[in-house]
């Protein structure tokens, strides 16, 4: 039954996100930033915890769950736990490396040797 809940909840969120993305015609980075901030807002209001309890797999893989992770990371950081900062910095480094590698691959595809 958990798989059905995860599938339905994840599908509904994808449907809503795709509808918003198609109707507003915003750029992808803006939409992703909005989704992460929306996940943080849902976590702050306590709604995200309910979603995770009902359909854990369907919610955890979404981009809005990154907002939940950022929210709880900031709460821990403000509470004095500095070990979270290492996680944020390593995630930032990982994202930068992926961008650099993607740029190199894209450059090599566009240049004919």
Domain boundaries defined on the chain? 2-81, 82-113
Residue 112 has pLDDT above 80, yes or no: no
**How large is the average pLDDT for residues 4-33?**
83
64-95 pLDDT per residue, tens? 778 888 888 888 888 888 777 787 788 788 88
The pLDDT value recorded for residue 63 is 75
Mean pLDDT of the chain: 82
Closest CA to 18 of 8, 3, 28: 28
**Look-up: residue for tokens 């198609």?**
22
DSSP code string of 34-87: HHHHHHHHHHHHTHHHHHHHHSHHHHHTSTHHHHHHHHHHHHHHHTT-THHHHH
Spatial CB neighbours of 27, under 8 Å, sequence gap ≥ 6 = none
């Amino acid at each position: 039954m958990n798989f059905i809940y995860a599938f339905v909840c994840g599908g509904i969120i994808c449907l809503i996100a795709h509808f918003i993305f198609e109707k507003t015609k915003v750029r992808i980075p803006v939409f992703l930033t909005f989704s992460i901030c929306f996940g943080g807002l849902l976590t702050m209001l306590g709604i995200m915890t309910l979603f995770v309890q009902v359909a854990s797999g369907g919610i955890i893989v979404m981009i809005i769950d990154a907002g939940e992770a950022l929210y709880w990371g900031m709460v821990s950081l403000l509470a004095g736990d500095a070990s979270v900062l290492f996680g944020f910095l390593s995630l930032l480094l990982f994202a930068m490396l992926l961008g650099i590698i993607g740029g190199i691959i894209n450059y090599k595809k566009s240049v004919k040797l």
